Amino acid sequence: MNEIMAEEISAQSNTNDIWMDDQACEKARLSRDSRFDGKFYTAVLTTGIFCRPICPARPPKSENVRYYPNAIQAQQAGFQPCKRCIPEQAPALSLPVKMKQITQALENSDSSIATLAQQFDISERQLNRLFIKEFGVAPSKFLHHQRLLLARKLITTTALPITDVCFAAGFQSIRRFNEAIKKAYLCTPSELRKNKKVSTDKNTVTVLLPYRPPFDWPLMLSFLRHRQMSNVEQVTEQSYARVFQIDEIQGWLEVTHHKSKQALVLQVHMSDYKCLSQVINNVKRMFDLDADMNAIHNQLKQNPLLAKVISTYPGLRLPGCWDIFEFSIRAILGQQISVKAATTYAARIATRYGKTSIENPYGLTNVFPSWKELQHAEYEELGFTKARIATLKVWLAFYQHNQDIFYTYSSVADLEKTLTQLKGIGPWTVNYIAMRGLSDPDAFPSADLGIIKALTTTTYGETNKPSNKDILAMAEQWRPWRAYAAIYLWHSLSLNNNN
């Protein structure tokens, strides 16, 4: 077992230590400082309720308050979630990459704890220790709590039938679902929904996805709009929409910004809602909703160039993707050609090999094909070069047998070492896939022309173009946020163009 890797995960965990200092928590609670929303929770002994630090209710006396690092531990201690600040709607904590991989694998599969540990090459004991260190509970209790949170959110905010809520939240039987809700919230699912203002549309589900500010929603949409596949996605100045397929389940979704809250609004329609939690996780990753931008900025703004970009675009985040396979194909298509050309090629693949999409309000016609649907694709009619077709076929053959590597890799360096052995796949492609396809915060395409241009300086009329070695050395100070440095460097070029 790779216990060394597990120790590295453990060393990176618990980066949000504010909750351990009761005095700091007290100040944040009394000031209702939104920067600490989701970083700790306030439990009140006299009421048996736990709240977010931004709760609008009258602050309780200090002697009646206890602090918890997460909602799981507060609820495990017997406290009920506040009905005013709704703890389940707090922004999620930013986790180390490996812990995020493990938690997502736990939530998105039916695998046992033993299988999960084997998948990540660590022992069950070590996996258990990591969850207790990060969340205060074992993996099984963490998963149970995540299901309860989603169930409560769906019950109290949507008109989705209770039976559908049960399976959408990941429960395997109605009886166990009812028992879990009653034990956690001291009422039945129907009683929990009673008198709640829920959506009246039973054909779609609307979910609030909170984030910790700053977040520049128009800038995120602008980035995605220049890369949209017209038959799969629709990006306007206010919204992002797309059609999708997970296994045999088709659906469409639209993401907008809430009119008054620091949150995105996800509207989903699916032929079956049992994959709803996966859709939510995909969207959260796509729009980088779990990032703690203040922590990232504090490190990166020590560089004058990055500081200038951050001051101009404080809400700039790392745009992710809907699906890693779809993005990997798009990254290969984008090698050494323009963004517009790569997007056109991707749309052609969707039209030629993707299934006809479910009926949707946006006129979108195709879902992007899975690796199985591209397994025997020839691409000759799509205008690709022979070299690009060869690379796509090499990639498909590799992906078919090695797709787990994208969820269990130990570092970007190791991923690069493995993938660059494939003909046609270079360091830039690997890092771009890791950066936007896997949302790895430390991925860094150092050979990117935009990054080179951004770091090129002119002194007394002489141009100083940095070598790749120079760029990598400079980027060491930006770890573990090099991917954010990359996106800021790209945006620094637009600052120069505007001057």
DSSP 380: G
> What residues are paired with 43 via a beta bridge?
50, 66
Q: What is the pLDDT of residue 95?
A: 83
CB atoms within 10 A of CB 208: 15
Q: Convert the pLDDT of each residue in 426-475 to its tens digit.
A: 999 999 999 999 999 999 999 999 999 999 988 877 889 999 999 999 99
Q: Is pLDDT above 90 for 45? A: yes
E-assigned strands of 173-273? 205-210, 233-235, 239-246, 249-257, 263-270
Q: Convert the pLDDT of each residue in 251-262 to its tens digit.
A: 999 999 999 999
**Closest C-alpha among 34, 468, 32 to residue 214:** 34
User: Which superfamily does 205-273 belong to?
Assistant: DNA-3-methyladenine glycosylase AlkA, N-terminal domain (3.30.310.20)
Does residue 448 have an active-site annotation? Answer: yes
Q: Is pLDDT above 60 for 379? A: yes
pTM given for the model: 0.88
User: Which superfamily does 17-88 belong to?
Assistant: DNA Methylphosphotriester Repair Domain (3.40.10.10)
For the chain, give the percent of residues with pLDDT over 70: 94
Q: Which of 25, 51, 166, 321 is catalytic?
A: 51
Rounded average pLDDT over 62-72? 92
- The answer, yes or no, to whether the previous bond of 214 is cis (omega within 30 of 0) is yes
Does residue 17 have an active-site annotation? Answer: no
Confidence of residue 299 (pLDDT cuts 50, 70, 90): very high
Q: What is the pLDDT of residue 423?
A: 96
CB atoms within 10 A of CB 76: 15
Rounded average pLDDT over 168-197? 90
Q: Which of 290, 292, 442, 448 is catalytic?
A: 448
Q: Which residue has tokens 């980088």?
A: 288
Rounded average pLDDT over 310-314? 95
Confidence of residue 384 (pLDDT cuts 50, 70, 90): very high
Q: What is the rounded CA–CA span in Å between residue 4 and residue 409?
A: 14
Which CATH number among 3.80.10.10, 1.10.3720.10, 3.30.470.20, 1.10.10.60 corresponds to the domain 97-193?
1.10.10.60
What are the residue boundaries of the structural domains of the chain, listed by start? Answer: 17-88, 97-193, 205-273, 295-319+447-498
| DSSP letters spanning 257-288 | E-SSSSEEEEEEEES-GGGHHHHHHHHHHHTT
| DSSP letters spanning 360-375 | -TT---BPPPPTTTTT
**Closest C-alpha among 405, 419, 428 to residue 121:** 405
Beta-strand pair 49-51/80-81: parallel
Q: Which residue has tokens 């709607």?
A: 89
Q: Is pLDDT above 70 for 1? A: no
